[in-house]
Structure 1
Protein backbone atom coordinates (compact mmCIF):
# COMPACT_ATOMS: atom_id res chain seq x y z
CA UNK A 1 0.00 0.00 0.00
CA UNK A 2 2.94 2.31 0.75
CA UNK A 3 4.12 1.89 -2.86
CA UNK A 4 0.66 2.71 -4.21
CA UNK A 5 0.49 5.88 -2.15
CA UNK A 6 3.98 6.79 -3.31
CA UNK A 7 2.98 6.38 -6.96
CA UNK A 8 -0.26 8.28 -6.54
CA UNK A 9 1.57 11.13 -4.84
CA UNK A 10 4.26 11.06 -7.51
CA UNK A 11 2.02 12.43 -10.22
CA UNK A 12 0.75 15.29 -8.09
CA UNK A 13 4.27 15.97 -6.79
CA UNK A 14 5.58 16.04 -10.35
CA UNK A 15 3.00 18.67 -11.21
CA UNK A 16 4.46 20.85 -8.46
CA UNK A 17 7.86 20.59 -10.18
CA UNK A 18 6.52 21.39 -13.64
CA UNK A 19 7.54 24.78 -15.00
CA UNK A 20 5.09 27.57 -14.32
CA UNK A 21 4.46 29.53 -17.46
CA UNK A 22 3.84 33.27 -17.37
CA UNK A 23 2.47 35.29 -20.27
CA UNK A 24 4.53 38.25 -21.39
CA UNK A 25 3.67 41.08 -23.72
CA UNK A 26 3.47 40.32 -27.42
CA UNK A 27 6.33 42.72 -28.04
CA UNK A 28 8.83 40.36 -26.40
CA UNK A 29 10.57 37.67 -28.44
CA UNK A 30 8.94 34.92 -26.34
CA UNK A 31 5.30 34.61 -25.38
CA UNK A 32 6.00 32.51 -22.29
CA UNK A 33 8.85 32.17 -19.81
CA UNK A 34 9.52 29.36 -17.33
CA UNK A 35 9.86 30.61 -13.76
CA UNK A 36 11.33 27.35 -12.51
CA UNK A 37 12.76 24.25 -14.08
CA UNK A 38 13.33 21.03 -12.14
CA UNK A 39 14.56 18.76 -14.91
CA UNK A 40 14.00 15.15 -15.91
CA UNK A 41 16.42 13.58 -13.40
CA UNK A 42 14.67 14.96 -10.30
CA UNK A 43 11.18 14.30 -11.61
CA UNK A 44 12.16 10.76 -12.63
CA UNK A 45 13.60 10.15 -9.14
CA UNK A 46 10.11 10.55 -7.65
CA UNK A 47 9.34 6.94 -8.66
CA UNK A 48 12.74 5.41 -7.77
CA UNK A 49 11.33 3.45 -4.82
CA UNK A 50 8.68 1.69 -6.92
CA UNK A 51 9.61 -1.89 -7.66
CA UNK A 52 8.32 -3.82 -10.66
CA UNK A 53 6.87 -7.16 -9.57
CA UNK A 54 5.94 -8.32 -13.10
CA UNK A 55 7.48 -6.79 -16.22
CA UNK A 56 5.62 -6.56 -19.51
CA UNK A 57 7.45 -9.71 -20.71
CA UNK A 58 6.40 -11.61 -17.58
CA UNK A 59 2.82 -10.43 -18.05
CA UNK A 60 2.93 -11.87 -21.59
CA UNK A 61 3.77 -15.25 -20.04
CA UNK A 62 0.66 -15.05 -17.84
CA UNK A 63 -1.96 -13.37 -20.04
CA UNK A 64 -2.85 -14.35 -23.63
CA UNK A 65 -3.62 -10.72 -24.64
CA UNK A 66 -1.40 -9.10 -27.26
CA UNK A 67 -1.19 -5.78 -29.12
CA UNK A 68 -3.40 -3.84 -29.56
CA UNK A 69 -5.32 -5.36 -26.66
CA UNK A 70 -2.63 -5.79 -23.98
CA UNK A 71 -3.60 -3.19 -21.38
CA UNK A 72 -1.29 -3.79 -18.39
CA UNK A 73 2.29 -2.53 -18.79
CA UNK A 74 3.62 -3.68 -15.42
CA UNK A 75 2.58 -4.82 -11.96
CA UNK A 76 4.06 -2.93 -9.01
CA UNK A 77 2.28 -4.64 -6.10
CA UNK A 78 1.06 -8.21 -5.87
CA UNK A 79 -0.39 -10.40 -3.16
CA UNK A 80 -0.81 -13.94 -4.47
CA UNK A 81 -4.44 -14.98 -4.77
CA UNK A 82 -5.72 -11.69 -3.40
CA UNK A 83 -4.86 -8.43 -5.14
CA UNK A 84 -2.55 -6.46 -7.39
CA UNK A 85 -1.65 -2.93 -8.43
CA UNK A 86 -0.78 -2.43 -12.08
CA UNK A 87 0.08 0.40 -14.44
CA UNK A 88 -1.12 1.25 -17.94
CA UNK A 89 0.70 4.15 -19.61
CA UNK A 90 -1.84 5.72 -21.96
CA UNK A 91 -0.25 7.10 -25.13
CA UNK A 92 -1.64 8.86 -28.19
CA UNK A 93 -0.48 5.83 -30.21
CA UNK A 94 -3.26 3.62 -28.81
CA UNK A 95 -5.29 2.10 -31.65
CA UNK A 96 -8.65 3.12 -30.18
CA UNK A 97 -7.79 6.84 -30.29
CA UNK A 98 -8.08 6.71 -34.10
CA UNK A 99 -11.84 6.72 -33.70
CA UNK A 100 -12.49 7.71 -30.07
CA UNK A 101 -12.31 10.62 -30.83
CA UNK A 102 -10.02 12.00 -33.57
CA UNK A 103 -10.30 15.60 -32.38
CA UNK A 104 -10.60 14.82 -28.65
CA UNK A 105 -8.93 11.51 -27.71
CA UNK A 106 -10.51 9.81 -24.69
CA UNK A 107 -9.77 6.24 -23.56
CA UNK A 108 -13.06 4.33 -23.92
CA UNK A 109 -14.58 3.42 -20.56
CA UNK A 110 -14.95 -0.20 -21.61
CA UNK A 111 -11.18 -0.30 -22.26
CA UNK A 112 -10.57 0.97 -18.73
CA UNK A 113 -12.74 -1.86 -17.38
CA UNK A 114 -10.92 -4.32 -19.66
CA UNK A 115 -7.57 -3.11 -18.26
CA UNK A 116 -8.86 -3.79 -14.73
CA UNK A 117 -10.07 -7.22 -15.87
CA UNK A 118 -6.64 -8.06 -17.30
CA UNK A 119 -5.02 -7.08 -14.01
CA UNK A 120 -7.47 -9.38 -12.21
CA UNK A 121 -6.54 -12.08 -14.73
CA UNK A 122 -2.88 -11.77 -13.73
CA UNK A 123 -3.89 -12.66 -10.16
CA UNK A 124 -6.42 -15.37 -11.07
CA UNK A 125 -4.25 -17.15 -13.64
CA UNK A 126 -1.67 -17.83 -10.95
CA UNK A 127 -4.16 -19.42 -8.55
CA UNK A 128 -4.73 -23.13 -8.05
CA UNK A 129 -6.86 -24.56 -10.85
CA UNK A 130 -5.80 -22.04 -13.52
CA UNK A 131 -2.87 -22.15 -15.91
CA UNK A 132 -0.94 -19.12 -17.20
CA UNK A 133 -2.10 -18.21 -20.69
CA UNK A 134 -5.56 -19.72 -20.14
CA UNK A 135 -8.50 -17.58 -21.22
CA UNK A 136 -10.88 -15.94 -18.78
CA UNK A 137 -14.14 -14.63 -20.19
CA UNK A 138 -16.17 -11.78 -18.76
CA UNK A 139 -19.35 -13.29 -17.30
CA UNK A 140 -20.66 -10.04 -15.84
CA UNK A 141 -19.83 -6.59 -14.61
CA UNK A 142 -21.83 -4.51 -12.11
CA UNK A 143 -21.59 -1.11 -10.49
CA UNK A 144 -19.27 0.66 -12.93
CA UNK A 145 -18.79 4.39 -12.36
CA UNK A 146 -16.59 6.68 -14.44
CA UNK A 147 -15.43 9.84 -12.71
CA UNK A 148 -13.36 11.69 -15.33
CA UNK A 149 -11.88 11.11 -18.80
CA UNK A 150 -8.59 9.27 -19.29
CA UNK A 151 -6.54 10.89 -22.06
CA UNK A 152 -3.17 10.44 -23.81
CA UNK A 153 -0.30 11.15 -21.42
CA UNK A 154 -2.15 9.79 -18.38
CA UNK A 155 -0.75 6.99 -16.25
CA UNK A 156 -3.62 4.71 -15.26
CA UNK A 157 -2.80 3.14 -11.88
CA UNK A 158 -5.15 0.22 -11.25
CA UNK A 159 -5.94 -1.89 -8.22
CA UNK A 160 -7.99 -5.09 -8.16
CA UNK A 161 -8.99 -7.40 -5.36
CA UNK A 162 -10.21 -10.96 -5.84
CA UNK A 163 -13.32 -11.49 -3.72
CA UNK A 164 -14.15 -15.06 -4.69
CA UNK A 165 -12.43 -17.91 -6.52
CA UNK A 166 -14.03 -21.27 -7.29
CA UNK A 167 -11.29 -23.47 -8.77
CA UNK A 168 -13.70 -26.37 -9.46
CA UNK A 169 -15.89 -24.30 -11.79
CA UNK A 170 -13.25 -21.76 -12.84
CA UNK A 171 -15.26 -18.77 -11.61
CA UNK A 172 -13.88 -15.60 -10.06
CA UNK A 173 -15.29 -12.34 -8.72
CA UNK A 174 -13.25 -9.16 -8.27
CA UNK A 175 -13.54 -5.45 -7.58
CA UNK A 176 -11.39 -2.75 -9.13
CA UNK A 177 -10.47 0.93 -9.13
CA UNK A 178 -8.18 3.05 -11.26
CA UNK A 179 -6.58 6.43 -10.63
CA UNK A 180 -4.86 9.16 -12.62
CA UNK A 181 -2.73 11.71 -10.75
CA UNK A 182 -4.15 10.44 -7.45
CA UNK A 183 -7.77 10.99 -8.51
CA UNK A 184 -10.28 8.18 -8.98
CA UNK A 185 -11.28 7.80 -12.66
CA UNK A 186 -13.19 4.49 -12.66
CA UNK A 187 -14.47 1.99 -10.12
CA UNK A 188 -16.13 -1.39 -10.56
CA UNK A 189 -18.13 -2.97 -7.74
CA UNK A 190 -18.00 -6.47 -9.21
CA UNK A 191 -16.42 -8.22 -12.19
CA UNK A 192 -17.27 -11.88 -12.79
CA UNK A 193 -15.00 -14.15 -14.84
CA UNK A 194 -15.30 -17.68 -16.16
CA UNK A 195 -12.23 -19.74 -17.03
CA UNK A 196 -12.54 -21.36 -20.45
CA UNK A 197 -12.48 -25.14 -20.09
Structure 2
Protein backbone atom coordinates (compact mmCIF):
# COMPACT_ATOMS: atom_id res chain seq x y z
CA UNK A 1 0.00 0.00 0.00
CA UNK A 2 1.66 3.19 -1.15
CA UNK A 3 -0.35 5.61 0.94
CA UNK A 4 0.61 8.60 3.00
CA UNK A 5 -1.13 11.13 5.20
CA UNK A 6 -0.26 14.36 6.92
CA UNK A 7 -1.98 16.73 9.26
CA UNK A 8 -0.81 20.26 9.88
CA UNK A 9 -2.33 22.49 12.53
CA UNK A 10 -0.98 25.99 13.15
CA UNK A 11 -2.28 29.42 14.07
CA UNK A 12 -2.56 30.08 10.33
CA UNK A 13 -3.89 26.86 8.82
CA UNK A 14 -5.51 23.47 9.43
CA UNK A 15 -4.61 21.03 6.67
CA UNK A 16 -5.10 17.30 6.14
CA UNK A 17 -3.70 15.43 3.14
CA UNK A 18 -4.18 11.84 2.01
CA UNK A 19 -2.21 10.42 -0.92
CA UNK A 20 -2.51 7.07 -2.65
CA UNK A 21 0.21 6.64 -5.27
CA UNK A 22 -1.72 3.81 -6.92
CA UNK A 23 -4.85 5.85 -7.62
CA UNK A 24 -8.11 6.73 -5.97
CA UNK A 25 -10.45 9.62 -5.33
CA UNK A 26 -9.47 13.22 -5.89
CA UNK A 27 -11.15 15.76 -3.64
CA UNK A 28 -9.54 19.14 -3.07
CA UNK A 29 -10.93 21.84 -0.80
CA UNK A 30 -8.55 24.68 0.05
CA UNK A 31 -10.91 27.65 -0.22
CA UNK A 32 -8.85 29.01 -3.13
CA UNK A 33 -10.63 28.09 -6.35
CA UNK A 34 -7.74 28.40 -8.78
CA UNK A 35 -5.45 26.44 -6.44
CA UNK A 36 -8.06 23.67 -6.11
CA UNK A 37 -8.18 23.49 -9.91
CA UNK A 38 -4.37 23.22 -10.17
CA UNK A 39 -4.14 20.50 -7.50
CA UNK A 40 -6.91 18.53 -9.22
CA UNK A 41 -5.03 18.73 -12.52
CA UNK A 42 -1.81 17.69 -10.77
CA UNK A 43 -3.46 14.61 -9.23
CA UNK A 44 -5.12 13.64 -12.52
CA UNK A 45 -1.84 13.82 -14.44
CA UNK A 46 0.03 11.99 -11.66
CA UNK A 47 -2.73 9.32 -11.62
CA UNK A 48 -2.77 9.38 -7.83
CA UNK A 49 -5.52 9.51 -5.27
CA UNK A 50 -5.40 12.85 -3.48
CA UNK A 51 -7.65 14.30 -0.82
CA UNK A 52 -6.85 17.69 0.68
CA UNK A 53 -8.91 19.65 3.17
CA UNK A 54 -7.47 23.04 4.08
CA UNK A 55 -8.72 25.93 6.17
CA UNK A 56 -6.50 28.96 6.23
CA UNK A 57 -6.38 32.63 7.08
CA UNK A 58 -7.74 33.64 3.68
CA UNK A 59 -8.93 36.97 5.06
CA UNK A 60 -5.22 37.91 4.91
CA UNK A 61 -4.40 36.20 1.62
CA UNK A 62 -3.76 32.70 0.27
CA UNK A 63 -0.04 32.57 1.05
CA UNK A 64 -0.15 30.44 4.21
CA UNK A 65 -2.78 28.10 2.77
CA UNK A 66 -0.78 27.45 -0.41
CA UNK A 67 2.57 27.03 1.32
CA UNK A 68 1.24 24.80 4.10
CA UNK A 69 -0.70 22.66 1.62
CA UNK A 70 2.55 22.12 -0.29
CA UNK A 71 4.29 21.11 2.93
CA UNK A 72 1.49 18.68 3.81
CA UNK A 73 1.51 17.18 0.33
CA UNK A 74 5.27 16.67 0.47
CA UNK A 75 5.07 14.93 3.85
CA UNK A 76 2.30 12.63 2.61
CA UNK A 77 4.24 11.79 -0.57
CA UNK A 78 7.33 10.97 1.49
CA UNK A 79 5.33 8.62 3.72
CA UNK A 80 3.72 6.96 0.69
CA UNK A 81 7.13 6.34 -0.89
CA UNK A 82 8.64 4.78 2.23
CA UNK A 83 12.21 3.65 1.52
CA UNK A 84 11.65 4.41 -2.19
CA UNK A 85 12.51 0.83 -3.11
CA UNK A 86 11.94 0.02 -6.76
CA UNK A 87 10.81 3.50 -7.86
CA UNK A 88 12.09 5.15 -10.99
CA UNK A 89 13.16 8.14 -8.81
CA UNK A 90 13.56 10.66 -11.65
CA UNK A 91 10.74 12.19 -13.66
CA UNK A 92 10.42 14.75 -16.38
CA UNK A 93 7.62 16.21 -18.46
CA UNK A 94 7.00 19.01 -20.91
CA UNK A 95 3.41 20.09 -21.31
CA UNK A 96 2.01 22.42 -23.98
CA UNK A 97 -0.94 24.62 -23.08
CA UNK A 98 -1.84 26.41 -26.30
CA UNK A 99 0.84 29.12 -26.67
CA UNK A 100 2.70 27.99 -23.52
CA UNK A 101 5.31 25.26 -23.02
CA UNK A 102 6.07 24.26 -19.43
CA UNK A 103 8.70 21.83 -18.15
CA UNK A 104 9.25 20.06 -14.84
CA UNK A 105 12.21 17.77 -14.11
CA UNK A 106 12.50 16.23 -10.66
CA UNK A 107 14.42 13.78 -8.51
CA UNK A 108 13.21 12.19 -5.27
CA UNK A 109 16.82 12.50 -4.15
CA UNK A 110 16.47 13.30 -0.46
CA UNK A 111 18.02 16.68 -1.26
CA UNK A 112 15.53 19.55 -1.45
CA UNK A 113 16.37 22.11 -4.09
CA UNK A 114 14.18 24.23 -6.34
CA UNK A 115 14.86 26.07 -9.56
CA UNK A 116 11.79 27.98 -10.70
CA UNK A 117 11.78 30.07 -13.88
CA UNK A 118 8.58 31.76 -14.95
CA UNK A 119 7.58 35.31 -15.76
CA UNK A 120 3.89 35.77 -15.01
CA UNK A 121 2.36 38.88 -16.54
CA UNK A 122 -0.88 38.69 -14.54
CA UNK A 123 -0.28 39.06 -10.76
CA UNK A 124 -3.58 37.47 -9.74
CA UNK A 125 -5.92 34.72 -10.94
CA UNK A 126 -9.10 34.79 -8.87
CA UNK A 127 -7.99 34.72 -5.23
CA UNK A 128 -4.61 33.25 -6.17
CA UNK A 129 -1.55 35.52 -6.27
CA UNK A 130 0.49 34.09 -9.11
CA UNK A 131 3.75 34.44 -7.17
CA UNK A 132 2.37 31.66 -4.95
CA UNK A 133 3.06 29.12 -7.70
CA UNK A 134 6.75 29.38 -6.88
CA UNK A 135 6.00 29.18 -3.13
CA UNK A 136 4.10 25.94 -3.76
CA UNK A 137 6.97 24.35 -5.70
CA UNK A 138 9.50 25.41 -3.05
CA UNK A 139 7.37 24.12 -0.16
CA UNK A 140 6.81 20.80 -1.94
CA UNK A 141 10.51 20.42 -2.70
CA UNK A 142 11.51 21.05 0.93
CA UNK A 143 8.94 18.77 2.54
CA UNK A 144 9.21 15.91 0.01
CA UNK A 145 13.00 16.31 0.04
CA UNK A 146 13.24 16.35 -3.73
CA UNK A 147 14.93 18.44 -6.36
CA UNK A 148 12.57 20.26 -8.73
CA UNK A 149 13.45 22.27 -11.82
CA UNK A 150 10.31 24.00 -13.10
CA UNK A 151 10.31 26.34 -16.07
CA UNK A 152 7.88 28.06 -18.37
CA UNK A 153 9.90 28.00 -21.55
CA UNK A 154 7.59 30.45 -23.27
CA UNK A 155 4.03 31.66 -23.12
CA UNK A 156 1.88 34.73 -22.56
CA UNK A 157 -1.33 33.60 -20.80
CA UNK A 158 -0.66 33.35 -17.05
CA UNK A 159 -3.41 30.78 -16.48
CA UNK A 160 -1.93 28.55 -19.18
CA UNK A 161 1.59 28.99 -17.78
CA UNK A 162 0.69 27.91 -14.24
CA UNK A 163 -1.60 25.14 -15.46
CA UNK A 164 1.19 23.81 -17.67
CA UNK A 165 3.54 23.72 -14.67
CA UNK A 166 1.09 21.81 -12.45
CA UNK A 167 0.27 19.32 -15.21
CA UNK A 168 3.98 18.81 -15.93
CA UNK A 169 4.60 18.31 -12.20
CA UNK A 170 1.91 15.63 -12.12
CA UNK A 171 3.29 13.78 -15.11
CA UNK A 172 6.86 13.98 -13.75
CA UNK A 173 5.73 12.64 -10.36
CA UNK A 174 3.86 9.80 -12.08
CA UNK A 175 7.04 8.80 -13.89
CA UNK A 176 9.26 9.14 -10.81
CA UNK A 177 7.08 7.10 -8.42
CA UNK A 178 6.50 4.26 -10.89
CA UNK A 179 7.82 0.95 -9.58
CA UNK A 180 10.20 -0.31 -12.26
CA UNK A 181 12.78 -2.32 -10.35
CA UNK A 182 13.86 -3.60 -6.97
CA UNK A 183 15.94 -2.04 -4.28
CA UNK A 184 16.67 1.61 -3.70
CA UNK A 185 17.55 3.47 -6.92
CA UNK A 186 20.91 4.78 -5.70
CA UNK A 187 24.45 3.45 -5.78
CA UNK A 188 24.64 4.46 -2.10
CA UNK A 189 21.99 1.89 -1.26
CA UNK A 190 19.78 4.51 0.36
CA UNK A 191 18.28 7.89 -0.45
CA UNK A 192 18.76 10.22 2.48
CA UNK A 193 20.38 13.31 1.02
TM-score (norm 2): 0.31
Greater fraction of residues in helix: 2
Q: Of the two, which has the highest radius of gyration?
A: 1
TM-score (norm 1): 0.30
